[in-house]
Structure 1
Amino acid sequence: MSITQQYLLDAYRAQQLGTATPPAPGTHDRQVVREWHDRRRFRAVLAGRPARGRVRRALRRWRTTRPHATG
């Protein structure tokens, strides 16, 4: 049974039972991949490797917006 056939069967069952229809296949794929990349980058920073991409931009933003101590 393919993913599409399983989805159609689940949607039919949900309609018959009056419950919510499940999300279509691939609906949240982009978000899952983005979170996976962010987690890998975060673990790299914790391991002492340089940050790249969105983590580096976030660290740069945090460093420039926090108040500096005057001495």
Structure 2
Amino acid sequence: MSVTQQHLLDAYRALTLGEPAPPAPGTHDRRAVREPSDERRSRAGRHGLRGALIRWRRRPT
């Protein structure tokens, strides 16, 4: 069964059960590709702040 056929079957089931139709195939591809890079970017930001605080604490007085 192809992706299109599965989507049509799911949409038909949702219609008969009175539920919202599922998103079309490929709708969230861009977000799925972007999420890992966003995660890496946020991790780098956290460690960057942590490193800056550690360096600030260790600076000579």
Correspondence for 1:37: 37
Q: Residue 15 of structure 2 aligns to a residue in which SS?
A: helix
Q: Which residue number corresponds to residue 26 of structure 2?
A: 26
Using the size of structure 2 for normalisation, the TM-score is: 0.62
Instruction: Give the alignment's Cα RMSD to 1 decimal.
Output: 1.6
Question: Gapped runs of 5+ residues in structure 1?
Answer: 49-71
Runs of 5+ in structure 2 lacking a partner?
49-61
1:39 to partner: Cα distance: 0.9
Higher alpha-carbon Rg? 2
**AA of the residue aligned to 1:26:** G
**Partners in 2 of 1:44 and 1:3 — Cα distance?**
37
Relative to total residues, which structure has the larger helix share, 1 or 2?
A: 2
TM-score, length of structure 1 as denominator length: 0.55
